[in-house]
Amino acid sequence: MKLEKRYCQCCAQVLYGRLDKKFCDDGCRNNFNNQQNSIQNKEIRIINRVLKRNRAILLAILSGEKKPTKVGKEYLLLAGFNFRYMTHQEVGSDGQSYQICYDVGLISLKTIEYLIVRAEDVVL
């Protein structure tokens, strides 16, 4: 009885050993799975990069301040802030809707001005 040759799914080397073996070694298995996950997680990585940049911009505006800080919309846009990406939204006890990016948030005061706050300061 002659068996068909089996090949590694990553590097295409001939496989020896168990019949259900798919990879020649752990390195090939890791490379194959990393490539698969890379394709699936590309969009998530892009969004996380935008969220991190938004958070960094908001933290830079607060720069160690304990109190909320007002800033103009144009300043945020020039700094590279993307208003479409936030992690979540909370409604404070005052009825205002806060856009939160991880642990820093903002609230629209007027069409061109925002109040930057720390998420822990939002009273629910």
Measure CA 78 to chain center: 21
The pLDDT of residue 111 is 74
Confidence at residue 2, expressed as pLDDT on a 0 to 100 scale: 63
Q: What is the largest CA-CA distance in the chain?
A: 80
Q: What is the pLDDT of residues 21-44, one digit of tens each?
A: 999 999 999 999 998 888 888 889
Query: How many other β-carbons are positioned within 10 Å of the β-carbon of residue 54?
Result: 25
Specify the pLDDT at position 76.
Answer: 95
Overall pTM > 0.75: no
Q: What is the pLDDT of residue 1?
A: 53
DSSP letter for 7, please. Answer: B
Residue 124: predicted pLDDT: 54
Question: Alpha-carbon distance 29 to 88, whole Å?
Answer: 37
Q: Which two tokens stand for residue 37?
A: 């996950």
Predicted confidence at residue 95, as pLDDT, reads 85
**Structure confidence by residue, pLDDT tens digits, 75-122:** 999 999 999 999 999 888 888 899 999 999 999 987 789 999 988 877
